[in-house]
Amino acid sequence: IDQYCVIGNPIAHSKSPEIHPVFAAQTGQHLSYVRCLAPLDGFAATVRDLVAQGYKGANVTVPFKIEAVKVATRLTERAQAAGAVNTLSFVDGEIVGDNTDGPGLVADIVRNAGVALAGKRILLLGAGGAARGIMLPFLMERPASILVANRTVATAEALVANFAGQGIEVAACGFADITGPYDIVVNATSSSLAAEMPPVPASAFATGTLAVDIMYGNEPSPFMRFAAEHGADTRDGLGMLVEQAAEAFTIWRGVRPATVEVFNKLRTKK
Ligand code: ATR
């Protein structure tokens, strides 16, 4: 049986082991998928150990996504652009690093929310690792523009500089400089973890705006509540979570699972 796992620290909270076995059952694939707790100073050794045990791949979560870039012997273009890896494949003696987080968000917006990114004006809040992973997959959908707003403006400017010259307007600013409305607003800051929201003005939203928080929880985040109060349709990050898993599963197994069953199961479970 082909073995996979998700590596993190902590790892008990990870929902991936609730997702991949359902995908496997649905597509008739035989595999096991478990949680793997790596010591904070032992990520590389843990990966080597998994390879030695014959594992076929692993997902990578907090806090190892950046370290996984170094552990990989080969990177996909989107992992390179993200500067982070969430999916490892152990094939032919190589450790291939990919990143399916951004593609997962795109899939959730386009397929599940039914909102195309092409031609749209996008506001991306945050300029950390999560925001960086979103840039290339978003640009590939050919939006009209992407404005990156961040508390620390210099970080947003540095991020944007990496993605200039693709024929799409990309710009950086601070939260106070945001004027809208935007078609799509993505909260890729980690503010929801602290039950806070980035200081985005109400003018960013209008009726028809899609506001997506990449975090998920039992309750809508302060960002989602604020966006909804100002007319936006809202989504949390549960769809992105399930879609990034589906993308990883597809990389590993060569078959694409349907995501609605798992999504509904996780949503109603709470
Ligand atoms: P992640 O991997 O989740 O992206 P990160 O790389 O540490 O984590 O980036 C966190 C992002 O959330 C940054 O854009 C950070 O803003 P700064 O660059 O100014 O630090 C943003 N962030 C965190 N808490 C925030 C808050 N309460 N309000 C606004 N932005 C916040």
Residue pLDDT, tens place only, 76-101 = 999 999 999 999 999 999 999 999 99
Ligand 1 center to residue 130 CA distance, Å?
Answer: 9
Binding site membership for NADP(+): which residues?
A: 77, 126-130, 214, 237
Please tell me the CATH code under which domain 102-236 is placed. 3.40.50.720
Task: Give the mean pLDDT of 160-171.
Answer: 91
Task: Give the mean pLDDT of 48-70.
Answer: 97
Q: Is the pTM of this model over 0.90?
A: yes
Considering the chain, tell me which residue range(s) the CATH 3.40.50.720 domain(s) occupy: 102-236
Write the ipTM. Answer: 0.97
Residue 105 identity (one-letter amino acid):
L
Determine the pLDDT at residue 268.
Answer: 87
pLDDT at residue 165 greater than cutoff 90? no
**What is the number of residues in the chain?**
270
Ligand 1 center to residue 134 CA distance, Å?
Answer: 14
Q: Which residues of 66-77 are buried (b: 16+ CB within 10 A; e: fewer)?
A: ebbbebbeebbe
Instruction: Outline where DSSP puts E strands in 13-119.
Output: 31-37, 57-60, 74-75, 87-91, 94-98
Residue 163 — pLDDT band, cuts 50, 70, 90? very high
pLDDT at residue 123 greater than cutoff 90? yes
Choice from 151, 159, 160, 226 to test ligand 1 binding pocket (greatest atom count within 8 A of CB): 151
Largest Cα span, the chain: 54
Considering the chain, tell me which residue range(s) the CATH 3.40.50.10860 domain(s) occupy: 2-99+239-269
Determine the pLDDT at residue 270.
Answer: 53
Ligand 1 center to residue 58 CA distance, Å?
Answer: 26
Token pair, residue 103, equals 């593609």
Q: Which residues line ligand 1 (CB under 6 A)?
A: 126-131, 150-152, 155, 189-191, 194, 196, 198
Name the CATH superfamily for 2-99+239-269. Answer: Leucine Dehydrogenase, chain A, domain 1 (3.40.50.10860)
Chain-wide mean pLDDT for the chain? 96
Query: pLDDT of 204-240, one tens digit each?
Result: 999 999 999 999 988 999 999 999 999 999 999 999 9
Q: Which contacts of 263-266 are long-range, i.e. CB under 8 A and separated by 24 or more positions?
A: 263/112, 263/238, 263/239, 265/18, 265/22, 266/15, 266/18, 266/19, 266/238, 266/241, 266/242
65 is known as an active-site residue: yes
Please tell me whether the peptide bond between 257 and the residue prior to it is cis, using omega within 30 degrees of 0.
no
For atom 6 of ligand 1, the residue with the nearest CA is 128
Task: Sort strands 87-91 and 57-60 into parallel, antiparallel or unpaired.
Answer: antiparallel
Task: Give the mean pLDDT of 119-127.
Answer: 98
Query: Ligand 1, closest atom to CA 84?
Result: 2
Task: Sort strands 145-149 and 121-125 into parallel, antiparallel or unpaired.
Answer: parallel
Candidates 56, 65, 269, 270; catalytic one: 65
Choice from 189, 192, 216 to test ligand 1 binding pocket (greatest atom count within 8 A of CB): 189
pLDDT at residue 112 greater than cutoff 90? yes
Query: pLDDT of 142-152, one tens digit each?
Result: 999 999 999 99
Query: pLDDT of 13-58, one tens digit each?
Result: 999 999 999 999 999 999 999 999 999 999 999 999 999 999 999 9
Residue 200 — pLDDT band, cuts 50, 70, 90? very high
Task: Give the mean pLDDT of 189-209.
Answer: 94
Query: Ligand 1, closest atom to CA 126?
Result: 14
Residue 194 — pLDDT band, cuts 50, 70, 90? confident
pLDDT at residue 269 greater than cutoff 80? no
